[in-house]
């Protein structure tokens, strides 16, 4: 059990990440590829494509390097692999990873038992050679480009749906109400957040607040950094539709939809595959709220979308006809959050 201790000032500094973290997503995605025999069904289509892409691009060794540093069954993997700077994107995160101080590298690698697994790699780091970090950063960039980036829009939409639902509860019930939405894996018993965790530990926020990071590839239990001196984060799983699949396996034809509906309206239709408010659509697609509202109204009039009020917000989703148009086939309708 991980116990996260809040003070009054921490409650005012709770944040929800604006989008998926590219380094966390890369590390956690690889957990679903190794070992080969294990696999969560919801990631089945993505897993098959990812393995094929890594093999065809000659990136098996790059993926293996990351997996050795952060194995799926580890109770701990080095914190320097997922720096806070990645909140500003992959390039920002990799720049900080490359500049990880030598002393921190040695400490965290030893804690993870890496000298025994990668003696040459960790030995070079201990000797002051920065080449291994450059190789690691390159591995992250290549693997992310091959198996994460192609489905980034879908992953971001899944995360955005989770964040949107919790944000709406935050508006109605405050931080207390929002923290209560994570049960049963996370229990909020003020002033302590109890997290299902593989080891017993306490984390005192001490006024720094907590950054919640919804993750597309995190599964079953949340993850926190081991070093209590780093900015506190809690990476947690999001709810997936049972029919989630990577974009490359879907029957959606974006160019054909754009020709039929117009580019922006087709993007709105695709975005509504995950229910969202007008504001969430506007942020996700980088259009104005009035524009998003106008396009949703047009889709609603054509019976491609439907809307319902949820507290102080209006949530939009596809109708069965809209889902059929998007995916090219009739599909079961997902419930609106």
Per-residue pLDDT tens over the stretch 210-269: 999 999 999 888 999 999 999 999 999 988 754 455 544 444 555 667 777 888 888 888
Q: Model's pTM, two decimal places?
A: 0.73
Q: Is the pLDDT of residue 313 over 50?
A: yes
Residue in this structure with the two tokens 């086939």, named with its chain if needed: 329
| 28 pLDDT tier (thresholds 50, 70, 90) | very high
First to last CA, the chain: 29
| 282 pLDDT tier (thresholds 50, 70, 90) | confident
User: Who's near 103: CB < 8 A, 6+ residues apart?
Assistant: none
> Which whole-number Å values give the CA distances from 222 to 3, 70, 81, 170, in the listed order?
12, 15, 17, 20
pLDDT at position 336: 35
Closest among 258, 249, 220 to 236, alpha carbons compared: 220
| 326 pLDDT tier (thresholds 50, 70, 90) | confident
Q: Quick one: how far is CA 152 from the chain centroid?
A: 9
Q: What share of the chain is helix, strand, coil (3-state, %, to 5)?
A: 55, 15, 35
Mean per-residue pLDDT for 272-284? 83
> What is the Cα Rg of the chain in Å?
21
pLDDT at position 297: 92
Question: Whole-angstrom Cα distance, residue 248 to residue 257?
Answer: 16
pLDDT at position 127: 66
């Amino acid at each position: 059990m991980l116990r996260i201790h809040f003070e009054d000032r921490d409650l005012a500094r709770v944040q929800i990440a604006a989008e998926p973290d590219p380094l966390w997503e890369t590390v956690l995605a690889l957990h679903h590829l190794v070992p080969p025999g294990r696999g969560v069904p919801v990631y089945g289509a993505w897993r098959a494509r990812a393995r094929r892409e890594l093999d065809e691009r000659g990136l098996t060794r790059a993926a293996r390097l990351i997996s050795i540093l952060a194995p799926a069954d580890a109770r701990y993997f080095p914190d320097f692999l997922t720096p806070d700077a990645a909140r500003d994107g992959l390039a920002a995160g990799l720049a900080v990873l490359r500049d990880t101080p030598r002393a921190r590298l040695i400490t965290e690698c030893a804690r993870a038992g890496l000298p025994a697994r990668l003696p040459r790699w960790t030995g070079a780091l201990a000797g002051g050679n920065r080449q291994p970090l450059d190789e690691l950063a390159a591995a992250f960039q290549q693997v992310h480009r091959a198996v994460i980036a192609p489905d980034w829009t879908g992953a971001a939409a899944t995360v955005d749906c989770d964040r949107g639902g919790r944000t709406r509860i935050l508006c109605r019930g405050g931080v207390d109400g929002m923290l209560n939405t994570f049960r049963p894996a996370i229990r909020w018993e003020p002033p302590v957040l109890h997290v299902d965790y593989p080891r017993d530990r306490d984390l005192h926020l001490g006024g720094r607040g907590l950054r919640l990071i919804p993750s597309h590839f995190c599964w079953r239990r949340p993850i926190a950094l081991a070093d209590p001196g780093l900015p506190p984060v809690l990476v947690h799983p999001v709810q997936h539709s049972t029919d989630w699949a990577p974009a490359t396996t879907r029957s959606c034809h974006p160019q054909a939809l754009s020709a039929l509906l117009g580019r922006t309206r087709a993007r709105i239709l695709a975005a509504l595959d995950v229910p969202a408010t007008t504001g969430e659509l506007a942020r996700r697609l980088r259009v104005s709220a009035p524009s998003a509202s106008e396009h949703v109204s047009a889709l609603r009039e054509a019976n491609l979308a439907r809307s319902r009020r949820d507290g102080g917000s209006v949530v939009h989703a596809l109708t069965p006809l809209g889902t059929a148009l998007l995916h090219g086939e009739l599909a079961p309708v997902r419930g609106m959050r």
